[in-house]
Amino acid sequence: MIENTQQFTQRKQEHIRLALDDSTQANGFSGLDSIQLIHEAIPDLDFSKVDISSQLFNQSIATPFLVSSMTAGHDAAVKINETLAIACQQRGWLMGVGSQRRQLFENEAAKEWQAIRKLAPQAKLLGNIGLTQLILTPSAQIQRLADSLAAEAMIVHTNPLQEVLQAEGTPHFKGSYQAIERLCRELPIPIIIKETGCGFSKQTLLRLNNLGVSAVDISGFGGTHWGRIEGLRNEPQSQRFKAAQVFKNWGISTVQSLLDAVSLTPDYAIWASGGVRSGLDAAKLLALGAQVIGFAKPMMESALQGIEAVLKQMELYEFELKTALFCTGCKDIATLQENIVWQPSK
């Protein structure tokens, strides 16, 4: 059962504060520094002709960029999500909303999305529910969550380390694969499985194959680490605080998770997030085989400054991606992925 509204709001506000703290970031562990794109001294194309449009479930989208799911269900989240949704609509980015768990218990929580839809009716929003909630929730209720924001797809996030270290956590994952397969079968929109910063092993990625999943966001180790965040929410002498120090570097890097996923040639699309901090980082992941790239912490920081800051950040990432394409001699993302334009850093 969800905690009372005051406890829930306090927890979510603590999450925002701690997610912006450098101590909760696994900087340098994403593996992105180990990848180098190969410079093309004579690109034989004009920069103005470089195209960063992409494909999403057989639809054309302006960019391969996603504002990853971050926060929802409390007063402070409303302004953040409104700002992000307006910017995403304007720039053609995808947007994953924060967990819709609260809507399972409070119908009033849906008003957050109603307000956002009035401001950004054309934004491509992705719903979001935790795997531990999915296991116990009928598909009809998940459909109601998706309908409340006219979602393009539904993200199911998995976060075992966070659930164990969170005082209010629900580390109940028995029946996960059956629940995922059921949802894929019963919901008419695409289902995306997403980690929350600890990545996926090859074995798990393989088990997700043939379940009907449309995409897997590997969300690897290298960015915001929710084990570290939950540890800091506990008293220094507590068991959870001490355990969080032991597990502060737990996870599979973004690059390793992506390479493992690509090696399987799965029946689902591969998305990548986890420590992505520039358009060049995004270009590396696209070159390795990802199809959608998620940004989280940098977008939260920008959203707290306002709409203009978000748009400025988005434009910078788009420019950096175009520059990476141009300087590898690639006219578009398909060309980047069809050619070997990367090598291990020396």
Q: Is the pLDDT of residue 72 over 80?
A: no
Average pLDDT, the chain: 94
Indicate which CATH number applies to the domain containing 194. 3.20.20.70
Work out the pLDDT band at 60, boundaries 50, 70, 90. very high
pLDDT mean over 53-67? 95
Q: Which of 1-15, 162-176, 185-199 has the lowest mean pLDDT?
A: 1-15
d(CA 241, CA 290) in angstroms, rounded, equals 35
Q: Global pTM?
A: 0.95
d(CA 197, CA 182) in angstroms, rounded, equals 25
Tens-place pLDDT, residues 138-190: 999 999 999 999 999 999 999 999 999 999 999 999 999 999 999 999 999 99
Work out the pLDDT band at 11, boundaries 50, 70, 90. confident
pLDDT of residue 91: 98
Q: In 3D, which of 49, 72, 52 has the Cα closest to residue 64?
A: 52
- Beta pairing partners, 156: 129, 193
Residue pair 49/86 in contact by the 8 Å Cβ criterion: no
CA 214, 283, 37, 222 torsion-angle sign: negative
d(CA 313, CA 315) in angstroms, rounded, equals 5
Tens-place pLDDT, residues 257-294: 999 999 999 999 999 999 999 999 999 999 999 999 99
pLDDT of residue 20: 86
Q: Is the pLDDT of residue 3 over 90?
A: no
Q: Which domain holds residue 22?
A: 5-344
Count: domains in the chain: 1
State the helix-helix crossing angle for 279-288 and 307-326, rounded to 10 degrees.
Answer: 50
pLDDT of residue 141: 97
CA 252, 256, 261, 263 torsion-angle sign: negative
